[in-house]
Amino acid sequence: MDLIEVVHGERELFERAGHLFDVDEMACAANTLFTWWSTNAEAPKNPRRLKRLRKMFRLSAMLDPSWSQRAHVMAEQGAEVRVSPDDLNETLLLGDRFVIMAGDMSHGERSYSVISAPQAVQGIHALYEAAWRAASPLEVHDASMVELRPLTPGILTALNDGLTDEAAARALGLSLRTYRRRVAELMAAMGATSRFQAGSRARELGLV
C-alpha cells in the first residue's frame, strides 16, 4: 500500500485496508455518533479485544439526547469518551502506524485517505492528542449540560420557526433573561456566532 492512498467508498476501503484494524489501540474523532466504522455492518471488526478505545465527539453532536445516550453506553463498555467544542474531521487512528481520514460526500461516494507515511501519521497523532487534552471528559460535559440539554429541542424549534424571544420564552416556561442565556449557551455549544448559523448547523445535524 502507498504511504498515502485514496480509496472510494466503504467497500474498497474494507477490501484494501481491512487488515489494518487488527490493532491493540484505536482512537476516533467524529462529528456525530453515526460514523461509518461503528455503524456499517460490513466494516472490519477487530478480531481481538482492544486494550484501549478512545472516541472524541463534537459538542454540538451531543446535544441530541439519543446520541448522548449512546456515548454513555460506549463509555460503560470501556471506551474513553471526550467532547470537543471544535470541528473534528472524521478520523480513525489505528495504533501508531496507520490513520484513515474520511472525506466529504459532496461528489457522491465518500472517499477515504489511508495514511501510513510515518511523518504524516505522527503529525495527525500530535493534533489528536492536543485536541484530546483540550476536550472535556464525558462526565464533566454531562455536568455542564444538565440544564441546557432538555431545553435544546425547544430552543432549536423556536429559532427555526422564527419566534420572538418573548414568545419562545413563554412557550418554554422560561423568563426572557433565562431564555436568552440558554440561547447564548446553545450557540456556544454549536460553535455558532449567530442564531442563523446555529439553526443551519442544527439542520445539518438533523436536530430540527
Q: Which domain holds residue 193?
A: 147-205
Q: What is the pLDDT of residue 38?
A: 56
pLDDT at 39 over 70: no
Q: What is the pLDDT of residue 34?
A: 42
Higher pLDDT, 32 or 28: 28
Mean pLDDT of 40-69: 75
**Which of these, 90, 109, 84, lies nearest to 8 by C-alpha position?**
109
Please tell me whether residues 129 and 154 are part of one structural domain: no
pTM of the entire predicted model: 0.75
Q: What is the pLDDT of residue 42?
A: 60
Query: Of 119, 137, 155, which residue constitutes the final position of a domain?
Result: 137
Among 11-15, 43-47, 60-64, 126-130, which stretch is predicted with the lowest mean pLDDT? 43-47
Please tell me whether residues 131 and 158 are part of one structural domain: no
Domain contains 8? yes
Domain contains 142? no
Q: What cell does 60 get?
A: 454540538
Number of domains in the chain: 2
DSSP for 35-82?
-HHHH-TTSPPPSS--SEEEEEEEGGGGGSHHHHHHHHHHHHTT-EEE
Higher pLDDT, 164 or 31: 164
CB 57 within 8 A of CB 70: no
